[in-house]
Amino acid sequence: MADGLLQDLPRDLPTFLGRFGTDPQCRAYLVRARWPEGFHCSGCGHDQAYSHKRRLIEECTACGKQHSILAGTIFDHVMSNPPHIAAGAATPSIHPERARAHVEQDLDLASWLAACLRMLRPGGLLTLLHRADRLADALAALHGPLGDLVVYPLWPRTGDRPAKRLLIQGRKGSRGPLRLLPGLVLHEADGRFSPAAEAVLRHAKPLRVQERPNGSGHG
């Protein structure tokens, strides 16, 4: 990736959402990072490309060679919120975009996570948001490639209500053990955000999913 783009990344949540709040914004950033001087076909040298709408592909308008936006891209930290519902487990929405967001389509969870792992450097972190009832599927796909796995429940509110969503985080190539952490309570009994959730969601406080042995946080 271009060093200038990496150095110019947002340092707070509002700025991040302003720059990367939509799929087209994210795609444009990746294209600039892949071709800092503009698109250049590795097949014929042409400088114009067609962007595939549903795939991270730029296709040369002269020779038709397809170029992956993510080819050769390795990240220190990959974060993913894949479709939460297994294919066939629910009736998809009649709205195509919503259906793709919520129900697995071409990739099941294991394949999705395998793609995430391929983009992660050795020692890098993968953070996954998923449903609690898919925990076994997620751990089955991640155990081995990742170690130091942490399961971080997101509790709906104080009391005895079960967590419906989880953060799962692990480090590529680590051999550290699996840990279950207390997690984060999202709401008070009256429905307001808890102070801890308010700090993260409203004030961009870092959510420390993991803690190093010496007590300093990361992730």
Q: Which of 16, 50, 68 is the last residue of a domain?
A: 68
User: How much is the average pLDDT of 166-180?
Assistant: 95
Are 22 and 109 members of one domain? Answer: no
Which of 30-34, 80-84, 152-156 comes out lowest in average pLDDT? 30-34
Q: Which of 68, 86, 113 is the last residue of a domain?
A: 68
**Neighbour-count burial of 137, counting CB atoms closer than 10 A to its CB (0-12 exposed, 13-18 middle, 19+ buried):** middle
What tokens does 36 get? 């800092």
pLDDT of 132 strictly over 50: yes
Are 119 and 40 members of one domain? Answer: no
Are 119 and 136 members of one domain? Answer: yes
Are 49 and 85 members of one domain? Answer: no
Are 36 and 84 members of one domain? Answer: no
Are 19 and 50 members of one domain? Answer: yes
Are 63 and 138 members of one domain? Answer: no
Contact yes or no for 102/83 (Cβ under 8 A): yes
Structural domain boundaries enclosing 199: 75-218
**pLDDT for the residue numbered 5:** 55
Which of 16-20, 42-46, 149-153, 208-212 comes out lowest in average pLDDT? 208-212
User: How much is the average pLDDT of 22-50?
Assistant: 89
Q: Which residue has the tokens 């974060």?
A: 79
Taking the complete model, does pTM exceed 0.85, yes or no? no
Are 94 and 165 members of one domain? Answer: yes
Q: Which of 46, 68, 90 is the last residue of a domain?
A: 68
Of the CA atoms within 13 Å of residue 3, those in its CB half-sphere come to 0
Are 148 and 210 members of one domain? Answer: yes
Are 133 and 178 members of one domain? Answer: yes
Per the prediction, the chain carries an average pLDDT of 86
Domain count, the chain: 2
